[in-house]
């Protein structure tokens, strides 16, 4: 076999090895590690730890090999004796089928011995003079490296070649912001465009004719990856450059944008511009050191702002809501842009922003934090003590109008005691239940502040399940039912309150309002029922078995009246 025979005679290496082979397909059910009959693999040297990736069809691999005849061990070819590795593209029939199927099962640095039957080698004809007909061959192959290539749109229009592998597991998704560098050249090497460390929104259309190719490539890349895209004219500049273009692309950073507001309503959005270390984030009652580097309205610096390193206890209310929200979702060393669309949540006197009245964009860096021990490490006594202290913190937050943070704190206290039923000491179990009841009642008060009547109802039900005659829970549920326009339920709860406390003015006032609301509902229902009755019996009688297509229901209803029509939805007890 000549030095270049493997490369120059693909018809021998692939075409004469037994015809088409369904094993080359990567369709449904294909498993590259499942070798067909006629190919035996024995690993001689395992790949180094950490080398878990394998090449795929379409990748250009570089190998060393030694080929021998199984019959007598005669060596007929060797890249090692030639002093240079051999390269080929997997799945392109540039080599015999046994190589295509075998190498795709290997990891970088692995050395394996493949025994190939004639059907997976040179078949009945062999390759004279070195390889006789119907010869079984043995190849010792070392996988040195490969260049990964992907046909992004499966039409040959954009071929992506991985130049440098990225790190981590995260890939961007549509709509994410990334930092990337890009150099575009013509096929002849002429520079067309270049962008360095550029902030870019995937699928935002900012790259014009190149956007489709670049977006698709970025969606499959990891942080730090370098790739080259060979684009046809249809994915580049069209007829303006009929030879297409080459794009060298580097994904430098993936910005993680997250809604960190207490209510998850988009009022506080955090964009990580430098990822932090590890997975841990500050927890309530932990000590935090946070650098607030700048504050703008999105364009210009805010008047009066003073940059400062703040030291505070997380979850205590020592800093404004926006900073409390943000720091709870930051990792050690993380830098982030935090956009606050509700000015009161960014009002922070320590930064000179006590009277801020516009959208605020903070630049933050989490310098340090020291968390308390995890909740499951607390004793039952310690949990009760912590819950008591946190309840006082939440009450103070509620008093000064920081209702979202108060609600967030009450929720955490309830979670702290969710397994208190299994506690051993009755004294502590009773205290835990009392704290839970108070916090559920106060959660209901917070929900009512936000007109979240459904949330308030759930919290009240949690209390009434254990204490059916709790006046505050009954009254707040009556308020929630009124807000949900469930007037009958509101009336019922108001009457329950008055049976316990006949002088309760708030319940009397709400009872009047609920009664008026139900009367209005009844009035509307009567009118609707009357209109339906008027429509009954109109029009000619249709023939038996034949509908009257001229009959129309009045526009207020979708079908004939039933005995249930006219009743208020939700009027029965839940």
Q: Of these residues, 21, 57, 76, 159, which one is catalytic? A: 76
Q: Tokens representing 330?
A: 């930051």
Q: Of these residues, 86, 88, 114, 139, which one is catalytic? A: 139
CB 510 within 8 A of CB 490: yes
Closest residue by Cα to residue 221 from 179, 273, 279: 179
Residue 218 backbone dihedrals phi, psi, to 5 degrees: -60, -35
CB 272 within 8 A of CB 335: yes
Q: Tokens representing 556?
A: 């207020």
List, in order, residues 6 or more apart from 66 with CB less than 8 Å away: 75, 77, 78, 79, 80, 139, 140
Q: Of these residues, 39, 96, 141, 491, which one is catalytic? A: 96
3-state secondary structure of 205: coil
State the residue for tokens 């070392």. Answer: 142
Q: Tokens representing 202?
A: 């995937």
Q: Of these residues, 23, 59, 77, 150, which one is catalytic? A: 77
262 a catalytic residue: no
CB 514 within 8 A of CB 487: yes
Q: Is the dihedral of CA 228, 233, 239, 242 positive or negative?
A: positive
77 a catalytic residue: yes
State the residue for tokens 């099962």. Answer: 105
Helix (H) or strand (E) run with residue 435 in it? helix 426-449
What is the Cα–Cα distance from 38 to 436, expressed in whole angstroms? Answer: 69
49 a catalytic residue: no
65 a catalytic residue: yes
List, in order, residues 6 or more apart from 28 with CB less than 8 Å away: none
Q: What is the DSSP-derived secondary structure letter of residue 295?
A: E
What's the length of the chain? 574
Q: Tokens representing 333?
A: 């060393």
Q: Is residue 461 packed enough to be buried (19+ CB in 10 Å), middle (13-18) or exposed (0-12)?
A: middle
Pairing of β 60-69 and β 137-147: antiparallel
What is the Cα–Cα distance from 563 to 567, expressed in whole angstroms? Answer: 9
Q: Is residue 460 packed enough to be buried (19+ CB in 10 Å), middle (13-18) or exposed (0-12)?
A: buried
Which sequence positions are flagged as catalytic?
Answer: 65, 76-77, 96, 122, 139
């Amino acid at each position: 076999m000549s030095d270049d025979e493997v490369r120059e005679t693909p018809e021998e290496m692939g075409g004469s090895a037994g015809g088409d082979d369904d094993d080359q397909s990567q369709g449904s059910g294909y498993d590259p590690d499942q070798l067909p009959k006629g190919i035996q693999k024995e690993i001689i040297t395992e790949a180094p730890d950490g080398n878990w990736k394998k090449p795929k069809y379409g990748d250009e691999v570089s190998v060393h090999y030694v080929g021998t005849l199984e019959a007598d061990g005669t060596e007929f070819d060797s890249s090692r004796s030639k002093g240079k590795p051999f390269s080929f593209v997997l799945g392109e029939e540039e080599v015999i089928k046994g190589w295509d199927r075998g190498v795709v099962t290997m990891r970088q640095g692995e050395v394996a011995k493949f025994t190939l039957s004639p059907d997976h080698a040179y078949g009945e004809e062999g390759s004279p003079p070195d390889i006789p007909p119907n010869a079984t061959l043995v190849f010792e192959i070392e996988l040195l490296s490969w260049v990964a290539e992907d046909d992004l749109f499966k039409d040959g229009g954009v071929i992506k070649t991985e130049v440098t592998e990225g790190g981590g597991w995260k890939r961007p998704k549509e709509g994410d912001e990334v930092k990337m560098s890009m150099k575009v050249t013509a096929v002849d090497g002429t520079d067309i465009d270049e962008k360095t460390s550029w902030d870019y929104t995937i699928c935002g259309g900012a790259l014009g004719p190149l956007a489709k190719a670049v977006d698709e490539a970025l969606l499959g890349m990891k942080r730090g990856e370098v790739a080259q895209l060979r684009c046809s004219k249809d994915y580049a500049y069209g007829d303006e450059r009929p030879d297409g273009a080459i794009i060298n692309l580097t994904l430098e950073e993936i910005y993680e944008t997250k809604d960190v507001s207490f209510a998850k309503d988009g009022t506080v959005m955090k964009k990580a511009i430098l990822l932090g270390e590890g997975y841990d984030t500050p927890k309530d009652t932990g000590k935090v050191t946070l650098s607030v580097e700048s504050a703008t309205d999105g364009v210009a610096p805010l008047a009066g702002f003073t940059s400062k390193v703040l030291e505070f206890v997380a979850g205590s209310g020592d800093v404004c809501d926006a900073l409390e929200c943000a720091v709870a979702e930051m990792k050690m060393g993380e830098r982030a842009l935090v956009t606050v669309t509700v000015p009161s949540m960014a009002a922070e006197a320590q930064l000179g922003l006590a009277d801020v009245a516009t959208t605020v964009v903070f630049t933050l860096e989490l310098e340090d934090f020291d968390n308390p021990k995890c909740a499951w490490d607390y004793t039952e006594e310690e949990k009760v003590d912590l819950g008591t202290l946190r309840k006082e913190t939440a009450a103070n937050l509620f008093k000064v109008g920081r209702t979202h943070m108060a609600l967030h704190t009450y929720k955490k206290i309830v979670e702290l005691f969710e397994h208190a039923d299994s506690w051993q000491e009755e004294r502590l179990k009773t205290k835990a239940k009392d704290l839970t009841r108070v916090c559920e009642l106060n959660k209901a008060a917070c929900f009512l502040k936000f007109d979240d009547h459904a949330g308030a109802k759930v919290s009240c039900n949690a209390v009434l399940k254990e204490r059916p005659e709790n006046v505050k829970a009954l009254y707040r549920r009556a308020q929630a039912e009124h807000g949900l326009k469930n007037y009958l339920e509101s009336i019922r709860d108001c009457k329950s309150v008055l049976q316990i406390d006949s002088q309760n003015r708030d319940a009397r006032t709400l009872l009047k309002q609920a009664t008026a609301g139900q009367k209005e509902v009844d009035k509307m229902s009567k009118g609707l029922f009357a209109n339906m009755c008027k429509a009954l019996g109109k029009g000619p009688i249709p023939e038996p078995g034949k509908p009257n297509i001229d009959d129309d229901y009045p526009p207020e209803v979708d079908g004939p009246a039933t005995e249930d029509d006219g009743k208020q939805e939700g009027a029965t007890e839940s």
